[in-house]
Amino acid sequence: MKIPTSHLRMTAIALMAAGLIGCGGGGGGPTIPTASNAAITPPPTTAVAITTGAGAATTNQTIAAAAFQGVNGAGLQTIGNLPSLVGAVTTTPTATETRRLMIAEIVRRHAEKIKDYMGSAPVTGAQTVQTVPCLVSGTETAVVDNMNGNFSQIFVNCDEGGVIFHGTISSTGVSSNFMLGSTAGSPYSISVAATITIDLSFTTVSPAAVLVSQGSFSFSVALSGTMVSDGAGGIMPDFPTHTQTRITGLSLLAFDGVNSEQLSNFDLTVVDDATGTTVTGQFTCANSASVINGAVTVTIATAIHYAFEGAHPDAGVIKITTTSPGMIKVTFSSVAPLIMVQVYSDTAGTSLVDTYNTLTWTQFDALI
């Protein structure tokens, strides 16, 4: 299942527009809507066996593709560089990649909005609620409790012109720290941390597709850059030039109408600046697709690097293991072979058995 890039861009725009905008109103009044989705059935988490030999080629390469999909996870290469957030991805992402891209953007947008709000609004006891119509139909509601540091977004059949959102995103236990420069051109650093809970579906009409994402995880975002004039005699932080984002959690589920996927025990860190994006960390990934139908453990052995606005990594190594003997090693490069999948009979990676190095990115992405 593929979702067009235009839908991804619309989604990013919608989230930017919906992200805790204008907290007007008072504490007495508007009704807060509710929106949820059917619970996702988790995929099997039985360890997948890593096998070798002629008949294992497709399975091992599919495991490698699913593991990379997890690394691509949470769409981490699009977290940074706010000006390019909408237009950074120039290739059509897979369904689960789109789900993760959305989660990454939600995290970033929450952090940006928390930064904006905490940096300017007085602390009061009021809960503010604002509901606005979506582009075509439906509503999106922002709920801000700035006394307790809680932020929620509720999408009720929110049609933004090609993609429909339905569900709730909540950020709780927010903490933030600001160190702002005093003159234009001086540096600033801002950090934001919180726990996010997501129950959100994305539905597209052409092509017909649905994605549901559910889970809860912690995040921290550190932003730095320089101060600029605000055009009114003061100064303000410019777009961040360096962003470090970390997400950690026990479970993040996704369902595309056919297969379910679970990212568990994940700890991923992304450093993003003008030169590109670097991803490090580890996680367990389970997938209900018949070729996999189980779980593997993924470790980023050498940081995955994306060139600025790059659709695919140009460097990095991931290692895939399970409870059974064997290991799959995937190496990414900027020169041929762009993707090399190596299968070892031992977990330590000393006994190489199979090597696959003829896959194109189109073929690799299509495996899962």
Tokens describing residue 241: 């030039």
Residue of 253, 285, 293, 239 whose CA lies nearest to 266: 285
- Mention every residue, 6+ apart, whose C-beta is less than 8 A from residue 231: none
3-state secondary structure string across the chain: CECCHHHHHHHHHHHHHHCCCCCCCCCCCCCCCCCCCCCCCCCCCCECCCCCCHHHHHHHHHHHHHHHHHHCHHHHHHCCCHHHCCCCCCCCCEHHHHHHHHHHHHHHHHHHHHHHHHHHCCCCCCEEEEEEECCCEEEEEEEEECCCCEEEEEEEEEECCCEEEEEEEEEEEEEEEEECCCCCCCEEEEEEEEEEEEEEEEEECCCCEEEEEEEEEEEEEEEEEEEEECCCCCEEECCCCEEEEEEEEEEEEEECCCCEEEEEEEEEEEEEECCEEEEEEEEEEEECCCCCCEEEEEEEEEEEEEECCCCCCCEEEEEEECCCCCEEEEEEECCCCCEEEEEECCCCCCCEEEEECCCCHHHHHHCC
- The pTM for the full model equals 0.78
Task: Give the residue among 337, 318, 312, 314 at the shortest CA–CA distance from 94.
Answer: 312
Position 326 scores a pLDDT of 94
pLDDT of res. 96: 43
pLDDT at residue 367, rounded to an integer: 85
CB burial class (10 A; 0-12, 13-18, 19+) of residue 258? Answer: exposed
Q: Encoding tokens for residue 312?
A: 């695919």
φ, ψ (nearest 5 deg) of residue 349: 80, 40
List Cα–Cα distances, 134 to 125, 169, 207, 307, in angstroms: 29, 16, 21, 34
| Residue 297 bridge partners (DSSP) | 321
> For each of the chain's 368 residues, which pLDDT tens digit applies?
333 222 333 333 334 333 333 333 334 567 899 999 999 999 999 999 998 877 899 899 999 998 887 776 443 333 222 222 222 223 334 444 444 445 666 677 767 766 765 545 455 566 788 899 999 999 988 888 877 778 888 999 999 888 888 999 888 988 888 899 999 999 999 998 999 999 988 888 877 888 888 999 999 989 999 999 999 999 999 989 998 888 899 999 988 888 888 999 999 888 888 888 888 999 999 989 888 899 999 999 999 998 887 878 999 999 999 988 999 999 999 999 999 999 999 999 999 999 999 889 989 888 87
- What per-residue confidence (pLDDT) applies to 318? 96
Question: Which residue, chain included where needed, has tokens 């805790």?
Answer: 20
